[in-house]
Amino acid sequence: MGMHDKHATEHAHHELGFVRKYIFSTDHKVIGVQYLITAMAMAIVGGVLSMLMRLQLAFPSQMLPSMGSIMPDAFAGGIMKPEFYASLVTMHGTIMVFFLFTAVLTGGFGNFLIPLQIGARDMAFPFLNALSYWIFLLSCIVIFAALFVAGGGPLGGWTSYAPLSAVEAFGPGQGLGMTLWITAIALFTASGLMGGLNYVTTILTMRTKGMSMMRLPLTQWSLLITAILGLLAFPVLLAAGILLIFDRTGGTSFFVPAGLITADMKLVQHAGGHPLLWQHLFWFFGHPEVYIVILPAMGMASDILSTFCRKPIFSYRMMVYSMAAIAILSFIVWGHHMFVSGMSPFLGSVFTLTTLLIAVPSAVKTFNWLGTVWGARIRFTAAGLFAIGFVSLFVSGGLSGIFLGTSAADIQLQDTYFVVAHFHLVMAIAPLFAAFGGLYYWFPKMFGRFMNETLGKIHFWLSFVGVYCVFFPMHIIGIGGQMRRLYDPTQYDFLKSQQGVNVFISISAFILFAAQFIFLANFLFSIFAGRRVTEKNPWHATTLEWTVPSPTGHGNFGEELPTVYRWPFDFSLPGAKEDFVPQDVAPVAATGRK
Amino acid sequence: MLDFWVVCAAYAAVASLSPTQEGIEMADGTGPGRITLSGIVFGLSMLVLIVVSLYYFIGQPYWFPALTSTHGGQIDQVFGAVLLVTGIAFIVVQGMLGYFVARYGSQGTERAAYWHDNPKAEAILLIGTAVILTVLVFMGQRVWANIYFADRPANALVIEVVGQQFSWNFRYAGADGQFGKIDPKFISGTDAFGLDPSDPTGKDDIISTNEVHVINGRPALFRLRSNDVIHSFFLPNARVKQDAVPGMQIDIWYTPDTQNSERNAFEVACAELCGLAHYRMRGFMTVDPNEGELDKWFKEIKQ
């Protein structure tokens, strides 16, 4: 460590040119911000796609001549084509799950925060870190291109079930579009593995003096556990993707059985494969992936919540243990996505049991957040509000998971909007709120300026009411039976009576989406013209990133690395002069937890 | 639509009119904090969320499609049990969150309580949650077992179902009670099953596209296959859903029961995204009152 410190300190004094400093940088902070901004660009793409979907769902197959002139290929005669709708479904899901949430939470916040919060000068492998970002950027370009190729984007959903994904003849987007999808996912996986190796190594080996594991901020615990999940889950997806490529181009039959017929009555030349194999491989990755998104959100929300409650997080130990329990259990619940897939119903019983087991540590975390707010002295900043909003949304989204995890109830609810409502709230909107909280909170450390608080609060309230107006009614139409990924629900008589709810959801979604531009304008404007940060620790927080200048240079810390004396939650410590005691303050008068 | 936004704005207005009240500061921080605008608005938001949820889940202005099967009542009961448990948890947790946020605000100087562990409370909550969830698992699994681990009924009306982009195809054995041999090489635009013309037992098979009849009170057994991609055979009224997977043959059965419905015609949906015209993969089911009506329909098809 000593050698490394010295080397890195020298590095800090070495002036780099613009390109090395801000573009091909190996500084974890620059890479983190690159991830954040790239993922935000992808979020805009994914968001626009969802707005097009909501347009079609509220006003199915109506003439929209203006859309027809903007996108003549997608709107035949001004009416959205069904295959375009299916490709929207696929691309929205893929972009949001991988290229927004996974990237922003682990790539963005992970990179930015890990060395700063554990007291290290950079990641263990800075070059690998930079390489991880550039491969991620490449994968973004490839997935974006899939929207514009001949035949359009792939139309099998983000889950890309075989044989729809394995045989080109089964749909217009299943040729080049699907190939690009697999390529992008493979690149993303490679990038994620590089990042994951880095995070695990850095957190385990580069913590500063005194930073024991049980003194890590919960953000760090969540990132460590997430990185381990990623290292175990992503290779399975990569392997599945490679097998799928073999099926598509190499004449193998991993996922395609014999005797399939195309629309023009030609026999498909495959034999011996099994479609459920893809589902098992995909969900063996896919369910841990859900936690790859939600765990960092939990960690960040916990730290931000505690900071603005001015109160220690309730039951730090249980927070750590429950995250670990969730991570382990996340590998044995994947079958709850497959209750009616044709998998043995005996397995359905087993997966119901494991799925409801995983609800226990999730409930523990909820109780602990409530315990943190109880008796707090809340400072209502935009960041704090988003952390509180996270808790409410996680609870709403989590509880509906119990219906879906109960196999008997899932028979009716599987593949309906009830599922859409559940996973959006719990693994998209709740993490989105944590990410917004994180952006408002760490923005001063990233750019040396504040985001505008008033705009931040307006953004919070519009978003909070907006997401409930969009996603809560989806439970209702899901109970009514509306299938997900459905181009036109009014085709079915039994769904016609609830079409008004679809209109309500769509209008709410348009308002919600528009409100995000308040954030975007605030973010971009504040980078250049926000109120300057004059102190190292504007939020009166306790973790190590707040002991360095805002922003801090390459190498993060000054001549000497900080020494840690306490856990990260000494807020309102009795006897202490201030209502917070940073981790690097030695215990003299103030005691608190070690 | 605008109601929610108007109500939210009204909260803000009401809260801003009410004077800021100073709570009693206690040394351990357990006394009430300050009443803040943000806290009140958040607390009231949670109240509105709870009230609106109660209206939609108890008033049920939109709910499950009318039930038309004997086993479906059990599925709805499991849903109801889970709804009761999660509904109480939802109200308690969102209510507490809203209350705490409204009550424990600050204006930047006060200190919070310094406590962060309570092993006894944690243990009670952990074990309590585990017990409640275990009860739900067993309740749900009893129903699951009733549906999936039951013996197949001897007197079932057997119907072969083949999903293909983008239609549902149905086959009955006909008068001889035997299905004719099939082979993919005989599949054509008019025959999704591929009936072998050399097999005499197939001559009287009844084949229908997007239209299926079952008999009220007599178990119907569906033998599901697919010719191309994965489809999902969804009978929303009967609470039946099963994927049709290429390369697999999956049997499911249920007993139609239309006593809760004024109609006897229902829709068959595809619930798994199966390609560009997935949304048009829609069939129709008629629940005939007796065998005679079914035979009548068979005769219509044969003509």
Instruction: Give the mean model confidence (pLDDT) for residues A267-280.
Output: 95
| Contact residues, chain A, for B26 at CB < 8 Å | none
pLDDT (0 to 100) of residue B6: 56
Containing structural domain, residue B51: 2-109
Note whether B233 and B266 are same-domain residues.
Answer: yes
18-47 in A: which are within 8 Å (CB) of B? none
Query: Does position B32 have pLDDT exceeding 90, yes or no?
Result: no
Asked if the Cβ–Cβ distance from A163 to B4 is below 8 Å, we say no
Q: Report the number of distinct structural domains present in chain B.
A: 3
Which stretch of A183-192, A263-272, A415-424 has the lowest confidence by average pLDDT?
A: A263-272
Query: Does position B9 have pLDDT exceeding 70, yes or no?
Result: no
Query: Residue A349: inside a domain, yes or no?
Result: yes
More confident residue, A333 or B8: A333
Q: What is the DSSP string of A193-244?
A: HHHHHHHHHHHHH-PPTT--GGGS-HHHHHHHHHHHHHHHHHHHHHHHHHHH
Note whether B174 and B287 are same-domain residues.
Answer: yes
More confident residue, A510 or A589: A510
Instruction: Give the mean model confidence (pLDDT) for residues A178-198.
Output: 97
Counting residues of chain A whose pLDDT is more than 70, the rounded percentage is 96
Note whether B41 and B72 are same-domain residues.
Answer: yes
Model pLDDT for residues A432-474, shown as the tens digit of each residue: 999 999 999 999 999 999 999 999 999 999 999 999 999 999 9
pLDDT (0 to 100) of residue B29: 52
Asked if the Cβ–Cβ distance from B148 to A348 is below 8 Å, we say yes
Query: Does position A591 have pLDDT exceeding 60, yes or no?
Result: no
CA dihedral A428, A429, A430, A436 (to 10 degrees): 110
Note whether B141 and B224 are same-domain residues.
Answer: no
Query: Does position A16 have pLDDT exceeding 60, yes or no?
Result: yes
Model pLDDT for residues B48-102, shown as the tens digit of each residue: 999 999 999 999 999 999 999 999 999 999 999 999 999 999 999 999 999 999 9
Query: Residue A583: inside a domain, yes or no?
Result: no
State the Cα–Cα distance between residues A235 and A70, nearest whole angstrom: 40
Model pLDDT for residues A291-349, shown as the tens digit of each residue: 999 999 999 999 999 999 999 999 999 999 999 999 999 999 999 999 999 999 999 99
Label the pairing between strands B167-172 and B206-209. Answer: antiparallel
Model pLDDT for residues A55-108, shown as the tens digit of each residue: 999 999 888 888 888 888 888 888 999 999 999 999 999 999 999 999 999 999
Asked if the Cβ–Cβ distance from B126 to A469 is below 8 Å, we say no
Query: Residue A565: inside a domain, yes or no?
Result: no
pLDDT (0 to 100) of residue A69: 87
State the Cα–Cα distance between residues A359 and A366, nearest whole angstrom: 10
- Estimate to the nearest angstrom the gap between the alpha carbon of B171 and the chain centroid: 27
Asked if the Cβ–Cβ distance from A359 to B62 is below 8 Å, we say no
- Ranges assigned E (strand) in A1-115: 75-76, 79-80
Beta bridge partners of B211: B284
Instruction: Give the mean model confidence (pLDDT) for residues A217-242.
Output: 97
Note whether B139 and B225 are same-domain residues.
Answer: no
Asked if the Cβ–Cβ distance from A257 to B246 is below 8 Å, we say yes
* Closest residue to B269, CB basis, from A316, A395, A492: A492
Distance from CA of B221 to the nearest CA of A (A): 15
A360: tokens are: 């226990």
**Does residue A72 sit in helix, strand or coil?**
coil
Query: Residue A90: inside a domain, yes or no?
Result: yes
Which stretch of A126-130, A138-142, A489-493, B111-115 has the lowest confidence by average pLDDT?
A: B111-115
Amino acid at A213: M
| Contact residues, chain A, for B94 at CB < 8 Å | 392, 395-396
Give the domain-ending residue among B94, B127, B150: B150
Query: Does position A12 have pLDDT exceeding 90, yes or no?
Result: no
3-state SS of chain B is: CHHHHHHHHHHHHHHHHCCCCCCCCCCCCCCCCECCHHHHHHHHHHHHHHHHHHHHHHHCCCCCCCCCECCHHHHHHHHHHHHHHHHHHHHHHHHHHHHHHHHCECCCCCCCCCCCCCHHHHHHHHHHHHHHHHHHHHHHHHHHHHHHCCCCCCCCEEEEEEEECCEEEEEECCCCCCCCCECHHHCCCCCCCCECCCCHHHCCCEEEECEEEEECCCCEEEEEEECCCCEEEEECCCCEEEEECCCCCEEEEECECCCCCCCCEEEEEECCCCCCCHHHCCEEEEEECCHHHHHHHHHHHHC
pLDDT (0 to 100) of residue A23: 84
Task: Tell whether A488 is within 8 A of chain B (Cβ).
Answer: yes
Model pLDDT for residues A468-514, shown as the tens digit of each residue: 999 999 999 999 999 999 999 999 999 999 999 999 999 999 999 99
Task: Enter the ipTM.
Answer: 0.94
Note whether B185 and B142 are same-domain residues.
Answer: no
Task: Tell whether A357 is within 8 A of chain B (Cβ).
Answer: yes
Query: Does position B14 have pLDDT exceeding 50, yes or no?
Result: no
Asked if the Cβ–Cβ distance from A260 to B130 is below 8 Å, we say no
Mutation target vs B (from A53, A56, A174, A260; most B CBs, 10 A cutoff): A260
How does the average pLDDT of chain A come out, rounded? 94
Confidence of residue A594 (pLDDT cuts 50, 70, 90): low
State the Cα–Cα distance between residues A424 and A376, nearest whole angstrom: 29
| Contact residues, chain A, for B133 at CB < 8 Å | 356-357, 359-360, 402
Query: Are A215 and A568 spatial neighbours (Cβ–Cβ below 8 Å)?
Result: yes
pLDDT (0 to 100) of residue A22: 81
Question: Angle at which helices A126-145 and A176-205 pack, to 10 degrees?
Answer: 160
Note whether B145 and B203 are same-domain residues.
Answer: no
pLDDT (0 to 100) of residue B20: 40
Query: Residue A531: inside a domain, yes or no?
Result: yes
Confidence of residue A251 (pLDDT cuts 50, 70, 90): very high
Query: Does position B2 have pLDDT exceeding 90, yes or no?
Result: no
**Nearest-by-CA chain B residue for A512:** B5
A421: tokens are: 């409502």
Query: Residue A318: inside a domain, yes or no?
Result: yes
Query: Residue A489: inside a domain, yes or no?
Result: yes
Give the domain-ending residue among B51, B76, B109: B109
A49: tokens are: 């796609």
**Nearest-by-CA chain B residue for A86:** B276
| Contact residues, chain B, for A151 at CB < 8 Å | none
pLDDT (0 to 100) of residue B31: 66
Asked if the Cβ–Cβ distance from B75 to A416 is below 8 Å, we say no
* Closest residue to B29, CB basis, from A89, A377, A486: A377
- CATH number of the domain at A38, please: 1.20.210.10
Amino acid at A236: V
Model pLDDT for residues A147-169, shown as the tens digit of each residue: 999 889 999 999 999 999 999 99
How does the average pLDDT of chain B come out, rounded? 90
Q: Report the number of distinct structural domains present in chain A.
A: 1
pLDDT (0 to 100) of residue A6: 46
pLDDT (0 to 100) of residue A365: 97
| Contact residues, chain B, for A409 at CB < 8 Å | 75, 78-79, 82, 140
pLDDT (0 to 100) of residue A71: 86
* Closest residue to B239, CB basis, from A83, A267, A412: A412
Q: Locate tokens 């699994």: which residue?
A: B141
Query: Are A486 and A475 spatial neighbours (Cβ–Cβ below 8 Å)?
Result: no
pLDDT (0 to 100) of residue A9: 46
Q: Locate tokens 């309590």: which residue?
A: B128
Asked if the Cβ–Cβ distance from B93 to A370 is below 8 Å, we say yes
Task: Tell whether A403 is within 8 A of chain B (Cβ).
Answer: yes
**Nearest-by-CA chain B residue for A396:** B90
Note whether B87 and B144 are same-domain residues.
Answer: no
